[in-house]
Amino acid sequence: MSEFNRRSFMKASLGTAAIGVLATGATGCQSSPRPRAKSAGQSVLGLVVPAMAQVRVGLIGVGERGVGYINHFSNIEGAVITAICDTDLQVIARAKTLLQQTGKPEPAWYHAHAESYLELVQRPDVDIVVIATPWQWHHPMAKATLLAGKHAFVEVPMALTLEDLWDLVDTAERMQRNCMMLENVCYGRDELMVLNMVRQGLFGELLHGEAAYIHELRWQMKEIDRKTGSWRTGYHAKLNGNLYPTHGLGPIAQYMNINRGDRFDYLSAISSPALGRAAYAKREFPADHQRNQLNYICGDINTSIIKTVQGRTIMLQHDTTTPRPYSRHNLIQGTNGVFAGFPNRIALEQGGNGNYHEWMTDMEPWYQRYDHPLWQRMGADAERNGGHGGMDFLMCWRLIYCLRNAQPLDQDVYDGAAWSAVVPLSVASVADRGNSKDFPDFTRGLWQSATPLPVVGA
Protein backbone atom coordinates (compact mmCIF):
# COMPACT_ATOMS: atom_id res chain seq x y z
CA MET A 1 0.00 0.00 0.00
CA SER A 2 2.07 2.85 -1.36
CA GLU A 3 0.73 5.61 0.90
CA PHE A 4 2.38 3.84 3.82
CA ASN A 5 5.87 4.01 2.36
CA ARG A 6 8.61 6.43 3.36
CA ARG A 7 6.91 9.64 4.59
CA SER A 8 3.83 7.87 5.95
CA PHE A 9 5.69 4.97 7.55
CA MET A 10 6.56 6.73 10.79
CA LYS A 11 3.24 8.53 10.90
CA ALA A 12 1.31 5.31 10.40
CA SER A 13 3.41 3.45 12.95
CA LEU A 14 3.19 6.17 15.56
CA GLY A 15 -0.57 6.30 15.03
CA THR A 16 -0.91 2.81 16.52
CA ALA A 17 0.33 0.95 19.54
CA ALA A 18 3.33 -0.04 17.44
CA ILE A 19 4.86 3.09 18.93
CA GLY A 20 5.99 0.68 21.66
CA VAL A 21 8.49 -0.78 19.22
CA LEU A 22 9.74 2.38 17.57
CA ALA A 23 10.01 4.56 20.64
CA THR A 24 12.54 2.29 22.32
CA GLY A 25 14.92 2.12 19.37
CA ALA A 26 17.25 -0.85 19.28
CA THR A 27 15.91 -2.40 22.47
CA GLY A 28 12.44 -2.91 21.04
CA CYS A 29 9.37 -3.17 23.24
CA GLN A 30 8.40 -4.78 26.51
CA SER A 31 11.05 -7.15 27.86
CA SER A 32 8.72 -9.20 30.04
CA PRO A 33 4.98 -9.69 30.29
CA ARG A 34 3.04 -7.63 32.75
CA PRO A 35 0.34 -9.31 34.84
CA ARG A 36 -2.89 -9.36 32.90
CA ALA A 37 -6.28 -8.69 34.39
CA LYS A 38 -9.09 -11.14 33.89
CA SER A 39 -10.66 -10.81 30.47
CA ALA A 40 -13.76 -8.71 30.03
CA GLY A 41 -15.07 -11.47 27.76
CA GLN A 42 -14.93 -15.24 27.55
CA SER A 43 -12.21 -17.46 26.16
CA VAL A 44 -12.33 -18.14 22.43
CA LEU A 45 -10.49 -21.45 22.68
CA GLY A 46 -12.45 -23.75 20.39
CA LEU A 47 -14.77 -20.93 19.38
CA VAL A 48 -17.61 -22.08 17.14
CA VAL A 49 -19.80 -19.52 15.41
CA PRO A 50 -23.12 -20.22 13.69
CA ALA A 51 -22.70 -21.86 10.30
CA MET A 52 -22.62 -19.47 7.35
CA ALA A 53 -24.27 -20.56 4.12
CA GLN A 54 -22.02 -18.09 2.34
CA VAL A 55 -18.91 -16.35 3.67
CA ARG A 56 -18.67 -12.76 2.47
CA VAL A 57 -15.04 -11.67 2.32
CA GLY A 58 -13.52 -8.21 2.60
CA LEU A 59 -9.87 -7.83 1.60
CA ILE A 60 -7.62 -5.09 2.99
CA GLY A 61 -4.39 -5.00 1.01
CA VAL A 62 -4.15 -6.70 -2.39
CA GLY A 63 -0.53 -5.96 -3.17
CA GLU A 64 2.39 -8.39 -3.24
CA ARG A 65 0.90 -10.79 -0.70
CA GLY A 66 -2.78 -9.94 -0.77
CA VAL A 67 -3.32 -10.34 -4.50
CA GLY A 68 -3.27 -14.12 -4.12
CA TYR A 69 -6.37 -14.01 -1.96
CA ILE A 70 -8.38 -12.74 -4.91
CA ASN A 71 -7.70 -15.94 -6.80
CA HIS A 72 -8.11 -18.23 -3.80
CA PHE A 73 -11.44 -16.93 -2.52
CA SER A 74 -12.78 -16.68 -6.09
CA ASN A 75 -12.24 -20.43 -6.43
CA ILE A 76 -13.69 -21.64 -3.14
CA GLU A 77 -17.28 -22.75 -2.97
CA GLY A 78 -19.30 -20.70 -0.51
CA ALA A 79 -16.95 -17.70 -0.52
CA VAL A 80 -17.62 -14.38 -2.25
CA ILE A 81 -15.46 -11.25 -2.23
CA THR A 82 -17.73 -8.28 -1.49
CA ALA A 83 -15.27 -5.46 -0.75
CA ILE A 84 -11.61 -4.59 -1.38
CA CYS A 85 -9.47 -1.83 0.12
CA ASP A 86 -6.00 -0.66 -0.92
CA THR A 87 -4.48 2.79 -1.27
CA ASP A 88 -2.22 1.84 -4.19
CA LEU A 89 -4.19 2.58 -7.36
CA GLN A 90 -1.92 0.32 -9.42
CA VAL A 91 -2.81 -2.76 -7.39
CA ILE A 92 -6.47 -1.71 -7.34
CA ALA A 93 -6.40 -1.67 -11.14
CA ARG A 94 -4.76 -5.09 -11.18
CA ALA A 95 -7.33 -6.44 -8.75
CA LYS A 96 -10.19 -5.18 -10.92
CA THR A 97 -8.72 -6.94 -13.95
CA LEU A 98 -8.29 -10.20 -12.05
CA LEU A 99 -11.84 -10.12 -10.75
CA GLN A 100 -13.22 -9.41 -14.21
CA GLN A 101 -11.40 -12.49 -15.45
CA THR A 102 -13.04 -14.63 -12.80
CA GLY A 103 -16.50 -13.51 -13.82
CA LYS A 104 -17.43 -12.94 -10.19
CA PRO A 105 -19.68 -10.08 -9.00
CA GLU A 106 -18.08 -6.67 -8.72
CA PRO A 107 -17.09 -5.85 -5.12
CA ALA A 108 -17.14 -2.45 -3.45
CA TRP A 109 -13.83 -0.58 -3.71
CA TYR A 110 -12.12 1.56 -1.07
CA HIS A 111 -8.95 3.49 -1.83
CA ALA A 112 -9.49 7.17 -1.02
CA HIS A 113 -7.25 7.46 2.04
CA ALA A 114 -5.26 5.52 4.65
CA GLU A 115 -8.30 4.89 6.85
CA SER A 116 -10.69 3.76 4.11
CA TYR A 117 -10.51 0.30 5.68
CA LEU A 118 -12.74 1.60 8.48
CA GLU A 119 -15.53 1.95 5.96
CA LEU A 120 -14.99 -1.57 4.65
CA VAL A 121 -15.20 -3.26 8.06
CA GLN A 122 -18.56 -1.60 8.75
CA ARG A 123 -20.24 -3.02 5.67
CA PRO A 124 -23.18 -5.33 6.48
CA ASP A 125 -22.24 -7.60 3.56
CA VAL A 126 -18.81 -8.44 5.00
CA ASP A 127 -18.47 -11.41 7.38
CA ILE A 128 -14.69 -11.81 7.49
CA VAL A 129 -11.84 -9.42 6.77
CA VAL A 130 -8.49 -10.62 5.41
CA ILE A 131 -5.65 -8.22 6.24
CA ALA A 132 -2.49 -8.30 4.10
CA THR A 133 -0.86 -4.93 4.73
CA PRO A 134 2.47 -3.68 6.16
CA TRP A 135 3.12 -4.99 9.65
CA GLN A 136 2.36 -1.79 11.56
CA TRP A 137 -1.23 -1.91 10.32
CA HIS A 138 -2.03 -5.47 11.40
CA HIS A 139 -3.07 -4.62 14.94
CA PRO A 140 -5.25 -1.54 14.27
CA MET A 141 -6.95 -3.13 11.27
CA ALA A 142 -7.63 -6.40 13.07
CA LYS A 143 -8.97 -4.58 16.11
CA ALA A 144 -11.26 -2.42 13.98
CA THR A 145 -12.52 -5.57 12.29
CA LEU A 146 -13.30 -7.27 15.60
CA LEU A 147 -15.00 -4.19 17.03
CA ALA A 148 -17.20 -4.10 13.93
CA GLY A 149 -18.37 -7.61 14.80
CA LYS A 150 -16.46 -9.29 11.99
CA HIS A 151 -13.90 -12.11 12.03
CA ALA A 152 -10.31 -11.00 11.43
CA PHE A 153 -7.76 -13.01 9.44
CA VAL A 154 -4.36 -11.34 9.70
CA GLU A 155 -1.11 -11.88 7.82
CA VAL A 156 2.03 -12.62 9.82
CA PRO A 157 3.05 -11.44 12.35
CA MET A 158 -0.25 -10.69 14.06
CA ALA A 159 1.19 -7.66 15.87
CA LEU A 160 4.58 -6.30 16.89
CA THR A 161 4.30 -5.64 20.63
CA LEU A 162 3.08 -7.62 23.61
CA GLU A 163 0.60 -4.88 24.40
CA ASP A 164 -0.93 -5.04 20.93
CA LEU A 165 -1.06 -8.84 21.06
CA TRP A 166 -2.87 -8.71 24.39
CA ASP A 167 -5.21 -6.09 22.95
CA LEU A 168 -6.23 -8.43 20.13
CA VAL A 169 -6.71 -11.31 22.57
CA ASP A 170 -8.88 -9.15 24.83
CA THR A 171 -10.88 -7.76 21.92
CA ALA A 172 -11.50 -11.18 20.37
CA GLU A 173 -12.71 -12.47 23.74
CA ARG A 174 -14.93 -9.47 24.35
CA MET A 175 -16.46 -9.61 20.88
CA GLN A 176 -16.50 -13.43 20.62
CA ARG A 177 -15.03 -13.31 17.15
CA ASN A 178 -12.22 -15.22 15.49
CA CYS A 179 -8.88 -13.47 15.12
CA MET A 180 -6.66 -15.90 13.21
CA MET A 181 -3.15 -15.26 12.00
CA LEU A 182 -2.79 -16.60 8.47
CA GLU A 183 0.16 -18.93 9.03
CA ASN A 184 0.04 -20.73 5.70
CA VAL A 185 2.98 -23.07 6.36
CA CYS A 186 0.81 -25.06 8.78
CA TYR A 187 -1.06 -26.17 5.63
CA GLY A 188 1.95 -27.38 3.66
CA ARG A 189 1.88 -31.04 2.63
CA ASP A 190 5.03 -31.94 4.54
CA GLU A 191 4.03 -30.06 7.69
CA LEU A 192 0.60 -31.71 7.67
CA MET A 193 2.17 -35.13 7.16
CA VAL A 194 4.53 -34.62 10.09
CA LEU A 195 1.61 -33.51 12.27
CA ASN A 196 -0.13 -36.77 11.38
CA MET A 197 3.07 -38.71 12.20
CA VAL A 198 3.34 -36.97 15.56
CA ARG A 199 -0.28 -37.65 16.42
CA GLN A 200 0.23 -41.35 15.64
CA GLY A 201 3.25 -41.47 17.95
CA LEU A 202 5.85 -42.24 15.28
CA PHE A 203 8.58 -40.22 16.96
CA GLY A 204 7.73 -41.19 20.54
CA GLU A 205 7.62 -38.49 23.20
CA LEU A 206 8.59 -35.13 21.74
CA LEU A 207 11.75 -33.49 23.07
CA HIS A 208 12.98 -30.80 20.71
CA GLY A 209 12.12 -28.85 17.58
CA GLU A 210 13.97 -26.62 15.15
CA ALA A 211 12.36 -23.95 13.00
CA ALA A 212 13.58 -21.09 10.86
CA TYR A 213 12.92 -18.46 8.27
CA ILE A 214 16.08 -18.51 6.17
CA HIS A 215 15.27 -16.63 2.98
CA GLU A 216 17.70 -14.26 1.28
CA LEU A 217 15.71 -11.09 0.62
CA ARG A 218 18.33 -8.38 0.15
CA TRP A 219 16.92 -7.77 -3.33
CA GLN A 220 13.83 -6.27 -1.70
CA MET A 221 16.02 -3.32 -0.70
CA LYS A 222 15.71 -2.19 -4.32
CA GLU A 223 11.96 -1.71 -3.85
CA ILE A 224 12.02 1.96 -2.91
CA ASP A 225 8.62 3.52 -3.56
CA ARG A 226 6.38 0.46 -3.74
CA LYS A 227 6.15 -3.23 -2.84
CA THR A 228 7.32 -5.12 0.23
CA GLY A 229 10.87 -3.86 0.45
CA SER A 230 9.76 -0.24 0.50
CA TRP A 231 8.52 -0.65 4.10
CA ARG A 232 10.04 -3.91 5.32
CA THR A 233 13.65 -2.77 4.86
CA GLY A 234 13.18 -0.11 7.50
CA TYR A 235 12.66 -2.65 10.25
CA HIS A 236 16.26 -3.83 9.83
CA ALA A 237 17.28 -0.37 11.01
CA LYS A 238 14.83 -0.34 13.95
CA LEU A 239 14.86 -3.78 15.59
CA ASN A 240 17.55 -6.35 16.35
CA GLY A 241 15.92 -9.72 16.82
CA ASN A 242 13.79 -12.26 14.99
CA LEU A 243 11.63 -10.11 12.72
CA TYR A 244 9.65 -12.94 11.11
CA PRO A 245 9.33 -15.99 13.35
CA THR A 246 6.09 -17.73 12.57
CA HIS A 247 6.58 -19.69 9.32
CA GLY A 248 8.85 -22.29 10.85
CA LEU A 249 7.51 -21.97 14.38
CA GLY A 250 3.80 -22.48 13.64
CA PRO A 251 4.07 -26.15 12.60
CA ILE A 252 6.48 -26.97 15.46
CA ALA A 253 4.04 -25.37 17.92
CA GLN A 254 1.23 -27.51 16.56
CA TYR A 255 3.32 -30.67 16.81
CA MET A 256 4.07 -29.82 20.46
CA ASN A 257 0.48 -28.86 21.39
CA ILE A 258 1.46 -25.32 22.33
CA ASN A 259 -1.52 -23.64 24.04
CA ARG A 260 -3.19 -27.08 24.06
CA GLY A 261 -1.37 -29.03 26.76
CA ASP A 262 1.91 -27.12 26.76
CA ARG A 263 2.92 -23.51 26.23
CA PHE A 264 5.97 -21.38 25.55
CA ASP A 265 7.63 -20.49 28.87
CA TYR A 266 10.64 -18.30 28.10
CA LEU A 267 13.01 -17.31 25.30
CA SER A 268 16.69 -16.43 25.04
CA ALA A 269 18.04 -14.80 21.87
CA ILE A 270 21.35 -13.67 20.39
CA SER A 271 22.15 -12.03 17.06
CA SER A 272 25.20 -12.13 14.82
CA PRO A 273 26.79 -8.89 13.60
CA ALA A 274 24.66 -6.85 11.20
CA LEU A 275 26.93 -6.66 8.16
CA GLY A 276 25.12 -7.96 5.08
CA ARG A 277 22.55 -5.21 4.51
CA ALA A 278 25.06 -2.38 4.76
CA ALA A 279 27.47 -4.21 2.45
CA TYR A 280 24.69 -4.83 -0.07
CA ALA A 281 23.62 -1.19 0.03
CA LYS A 282 27.19 -0.02 -0.49
CA ARG A 283 27.57 -2.35 -3.46
CA GLU A 284 24.19 -1.78 -5.13
CA PHE A 285 23.36 1.90 -4.51
CA PRO A 286 25.10 5.27 -4.89
CA ALA A 287 26.85 6.53 -1.79
CA ASP A 288 24.21 9.21 -1.18
CA HIS A 289 21.24 6.86 -1.71
CA GLN A 290 18.72 6.52 1.14
CA ARG A 291 19.60 2.84 1.54
CA ASN A 292 23.13 3.93 2.47
CA GLN A 293 21.82 6.39 5.05
CA LEU A 294 20.20 3.69 7.20
CA ASN A 295 22.01 2.19 10.18
CA TYR A 296 21.23 -1.51 9.85
CA ILE A 297 21.17 -2.93 13.37
CA CYS A 298 19.31 -6.24 12.92
CA GLY A 299 21.83 -9.07 13.14
CA ASP A 300 22.14 -11.00 9.91
CA ILE A 301 21.34 -14.23 11.78
CA ASN A 302 19.24 -14.35 14.93
CA THR A 303 19.08 -17.53 16.99
CA SER A 304 16.46 -17.87 19.70
CA ILE A 305 15.96 -20.77 22.10
CA ILE A 306 12.49 -21.37 23.51
CA LYS A 307 11.76 -23.49 26.56
CA THR A 308 8.23 -24.81 27.07
CA VAL A 309 6.52 -25.36 30.38
CA GLN A 310 6.70 -29.13 29.79
CA GLY A 311 10.46 -28.83 29.31
CA ARG A 312 10.73 -29.16 25.53
CA THR A 313 13.16 -26.97 23.60
CA ILE A 314 12.91 -25.18 20.27
CA MET A 315 15.72 -23.57 18.30
CA LEU A 316 14.38 -20.78 16.10
CA GLN A 317 16.40 -18.84 13.53
CA HIS A 318 15.87 -15.81 11.31
CA ASP A 319 18.06 -14.83 8.37
CA THR A 320 16.89 -12.83 5.38
CA THR A 321 20.30 -11.41 4.57
CA THR A 322 23.06 -13.97 4.02
CA PRO A 323 23.60 -15.81 0.70
CA ARG A 324 22.32 -19.32 1.39
CA PRO A 325 19.54 -21.66 0.24
CA TYR A 326 16.01 -21.26 1.55
CA SER A 327 15.09 -23.29 4.64
CA ARG A 328 12.49 -23.46 7.40
CA HIS A 329 14.36 -26.34 9.13
CA ASN A 330 11.13 -28.07 10.31
CA LEU A 331 12.86 -30.57 12.59
CA ILE A 332 11.05 -32.51 15.28
CA GLN A 333 12.94 -34.88 17.58
CA GLY A 334 11.35 -37.47 19.82
CA THR A 335 12.46 -40.40 21.91
CA ASN A 336 12.00 -42.75 18.93
CA GLY A 337 13.54 -40.64 16.18
CA VAL A 338 13.47 -37.51 14.10
CA PHE A 339 12.05 -35.86 11.00
CA ALA A 340 14.01 -33.05 9.38
CA GLY A 341 13.08 -30.90 6.40
CA PHE A 342 15.04 -29.13 3.66
CA PRO A 343 15.61 -31.77 2.39
CA ASN A 344 13.09 -34.15 3.92
CA ARG A 345 14.59 -37.08 5.80
CA ILE A 346 13.70 -39.44 8.64
CA ALA A 347 15.63 -41.57 11.15
CA LEU A 348 13.85 -43.91 13.57
CA GLU A 349 14.86 -46.44 16.19
CA GLN A 350 11.65 -48.43 15.82
CA GLY A 351 9.57 -48.51 12.63
CA GLY A 352 12.18 -47.46 10.13
CA ASN A 353 14.93 -49.36 8.34
CA GLY A 354 16.62 -50.48 11.52
CA ASN A 355 19.50 -48.01 11.23
CA TYR A 356 18.90 -44.65 12.88
CA HIS A 357 22.49 -43.63 12.19
CA GLU A 358 21.57 -43.01 8.55
CA TRP A 359 18.81 -40.90 7.04
CA MET A 360 15.94 -42.38 5.07
CA THR A 361 15.41 -39.91 2.22
CA ASP A 362 12.80 -41.60 0.04
CA MET A 363 9.60 -39.84 1.11
CA GLU A 364 7.13 -41.68 -1.11
CA PRO A 365 6.46 -44.57 1.30
CA TRP A 366 5.90 -42.07 4.09
CA TYR A 367 3.46 -40.02 2.01
CA GLN A 368 1.54 -43.17 1.19
CA ARG A 369 1.19 -44.07 4.84
CA TYR A 370 1.02 -40.72 6.62
CA ASP A 371 -0.25 -38.13 4.12
CA HIS A 372 -2.64 -35.95 6.10
CA PRO A 373 -6.34 -36.60 5.36
CA LEU A 374 -6.83 -32.92 4.59
CA TRP A 375 -4.15 -33.09 1.89
CA GLN A 376 -5.54 -36.39 0.59
CA ARG A 377 -8.91 -34.69 0.23
CA MET A 378 -7.88 -31.31 -1.13
CA GLY A 379 -4.24 -31.59 -2.18
CA ALA A 380 -4.92 -31.81 -5.91
CA ASP A 381 -7.12 -28.71 -5.79
CA ALA A 382 -4.54 -26.92 -3.65
CA GLU A 383 -1.71 -27.61 -6.06
CA ARG A 384 -3.85 -26.59 -9.02
CA ASN A 385 -4.82 -23.28 -7.42
CA GLY A 386 -1.31 -22.65 -6.15
CA GLY A 387 0.15 -20.35 -3.56
CA HIS A 388 3.44 -21.66 -2.15
CA GLY A 389 2.82 -25.14 -3.48
CA GLY A 390 -0.87 -25.10 -2.57
CA MET A 391 -0.62 -24.28 1.13
CA ASP A 392 -2.15 -20.81 0.64
CA PHE A 393 -5.21 -22.13 -1.14
CA LEU A 394 -5.66 -24.97 1.35
CA MET A 395 -5.51 -22.53 4.26
CA CYS A 396 -8.21 -20.36 2.67
CA TRP A 397 -10.35 -23.39 1.80
CA ARG A 398 -10.08 -24.73 5.31
CA LEU A 399 -11.09 -21.51 7.07
CA ILE A 400 -14.11 -21.13 4.77
CA TYR A 401 -15.03 -24.77 5.39
CA CYS A 402 -14.88 -24.29 9.16
CA LEU A 403 -17.04 -21.16 9.04
CA ARG A 404 -19.62 -22.82 6.78
CA ASN A 405 -19.79 -25.96 8.91
CA ALA A 406 -19.73 -24.44 12.41
CA GLN A 407 -16.34 -25.93 13.28
CA PRO A 408 -13.52 -24.33 15.28
CA LEU A 409 -10.62 -22.94 13.29
CA ASP A 410 -7.26 -24.73 13.32
CA GLN A 411 -5.50 -21.60 14.61
CA ASP A 412 -6.86 -19.06 17.07
CA VAL A 413 -5.91 -15.70 18.53
CA TYR A 414 -3.84 -17.35 21.26
CA ASP A 415 -1.70 -19.14 18.67
CA GLY A 416 -1.17 -15.95 16.69
CA ALA A 417 -0.25 -14.06 19.86
CA ALA A 418 2.19 -16.68 21.18
CA TRP A 419 3.93 -17.21 17.84
CA SER A 420 4.16 -13.46 17.13
CA ALA A 421 5.44 -12.68 20.65
CA VAL A 422 8.83 -13.95 19.52
CA VAL A 423 9.39 -10.61 17.77
CA PRO A 424 9.36 -8.33 20.85
CA LEU A 425 10.79 -10.96 23.19
CA SER A 426 13.75 -11.72 20.94
CA VAL A 427 14.48 -8.01 20.51
CA ALA A 428 14.40 -7.53 24.28
CA SER A 429 16.59 -10.59 24.91
CA VAL A 430 19.22 -9.56 22.36
CA ALA A 431 19.41 -6.13 23.98
CA ASP A 432 19.84 -7.80 27.39
CA ARG A 433 22.83 -10.00 26.52
CA GLY A 434 20.64 -12.98 25.70
CA ASN A 435 18.96 -13.15 29.10
CA SER A 436 15.66 -14.98 29.04
CA LYS A 437 12.32 -13.24 28.62
CA ASP A 438 9.05 -14.77 29.73
CA PHE A 439 6.18 -15.43 27.35
CA PRO A 440 2.79 -14.20 28.50
CA ASP A 441 0.17 -16.87 29.00
CA PHE A 442 -2.34 -15.49 26.54
CA THR A 443 -4.80 -18.30 27.40
CA ARG A 444 -4.82 -17.30 31.09
CA GLY A 445 -4.18 -20.88 32.18
CA LEU A 446 -6.66 -22.62 29.90
CA TRP A 447 -3.83 -24.23 27.88
CA GLN A 448 -3.68 -26.87 30.58
CA SER A 449 -7.11 -28.26 29.70
CA ALA A 450 -7.35 -27.34 26.01
CA THR A 451 -7.76 -30.15 23.48
CA PRO A 452 -4.82 -30.72 21.09
CA LEU A 453 -5.38 -29.93 17.40
CA PRO A 454 -6.77 -33.11 15.86
CA VAL A 455 -5.91 -34.61 12.50
CA VAL A 456 -8.84 -33.13 10.58
CA GLY A 457 -10.21 -33.53 7.10
CA ALA A 458 -10.95 -37.23 6.82
Amino acid at 295: N
407 in a structural domain: no
The verdict on 152 and 213 lying in the same domain is no
The verdict on 63 and 109 lying in the same domain is yes
Q: Report the C-alpha gap between 210 and 227 in whole angstroms.
A: 31
Based on the structure, what is the number of domains in the chain? 2
Left (φ > 0), alpha (ψ -120 to 50) or beta: where does 48 sit?
A: beta
The verdict on 280 and 339 lying in the same domain is yes
Distances (CA, A) of 74 to 83, 203, 397, 406: 13, 39, 11, 21
The verdict on 264 and 296 lying in the same domain is yes
Question: Apex CA 184: angle with CA 180 and CA 185, to 5°?
Answer: 130
Give the CATH number of the domain where residue 443 resides: 3.30.360.10
The verdict on 196 and 154 lying in the same domain is no
Q: Report the C-alpha gap between 128 and 151 in whole angstroms.
A: 5
Domain boundary among 182, 211, 237: 182
pLDDT of 255 reads: 98
Domain boundary among 149, 182, 215: 182
In the sheet with 151-154, reading across from the earlier edge strand, the strands are 108-110, 79-85, 55-60, 128-131, 151-154, 179-181
Domain boundary among 123, 151, 182: 182
The verdict on 106 and 191 lying in the same domain is no
DSSP assignments along 167-233, one per residue: HHHHHHHHHT--EEE--GGGGSHHHHHHHHHHHTTTT-SEEEEEEEEE---GGGGG--SSSTHHHHG
Supply φ then ψ for residue 360, to 5 degrees.
Answer: -95, 120
Beta-bridge mates of residue 315: 210, 305
Q: List per-residue pLDDT tens for the chain, 458 residues long.
A: 443 343 343 333 333 333 333 333 333 444 455 557 677 799 999 999 999 999 999 999 999 999 999 999 999 999 999 999 999 999 999 999 999 999 999 999 999 999 999 999 999 999 999 999 999 999 999 999 999 999 999 999 999 999 999 999 999 999 999 999 999 999 999 999 999 999 999 999 999 999 999 999 999 999 999 999 999 999 999 999 999 999 999 999 999 999 999 999 999 999 999 999 999 999 999 999 999 999 999 999 999 999 999 999 999 999 999 999 999 999 999 999 999 999 999 999 999 998 999 999 999 999 999 999 999 999 999 999 988 999 999 999 999 999 999 999 999 999 999 999 999 999 999 999 999 999 999 999 999 999 999 999 75
The verdict on 225 and 83 lying in the same domain is no
DSSP assignments along 8-34, one per residue: HHHHHHHTSTTHHHHTTGGG-S-SSPP
Distances (CA, A) of 338 to 326, 333, 360: 21, 4, 11
Single pTM value for the model: 0.93
pLDDT of 9 reads: 32
Handedness of CA 182, 16, 219, 214 (dihedral sign): negative
Query: Is cis: bond before 373, omega within 30 of 0?
Result: no
The verdict on 63 and 170 lying in the same domain is yes
According to DSSP, the β-strands at 337-340 and 345-348 are: antiparallel
The verdict on 148 and 120 lying in the same domain is yes
What is the enclosing helix (H) or strand (E) of 118? helix 117-121
The verdict on 438 and 346 lying in the same domain is yes
400 in a structural domain: no
Question: Apex CA 235: angle with CA 232 and CA 241, to 5°?
Answer: 125
pLDDT of 3 reads: 38
Domain containing residue 258: 186-372+412-448
191 in a structural domain: yes
Cβ neighbours, 10 Å, residue 85? 29
pLDDT of 31 reads: 47
The verdict on 303 and 422 lying in the same domain is yes
3-state secondary structure of 244: coil
Handedness of CA 138, 144, 146, 151 (dihedral sign): negative
In the sheet with 337-340, reading across from the earlier edge strand, the strands are 345-348, 337-340, 331-334, 206-214, 313-319, 302-308, 264-271, 437-438
Distances (CA, A) of 171 to 59, 143, 150: 20, 7, 11
- Name the percent of the chain in helix, strand, coil, to the closest 5: 40, 15, 45
Of 218, 158, 137, the closest CA to residue 424 belongs to 158
The verdict on 360 and 228 lying in the same domain is yes
41 in a structural domain: no
Of 317, 207, 211, the closest CA to residue 270 belongs to 317
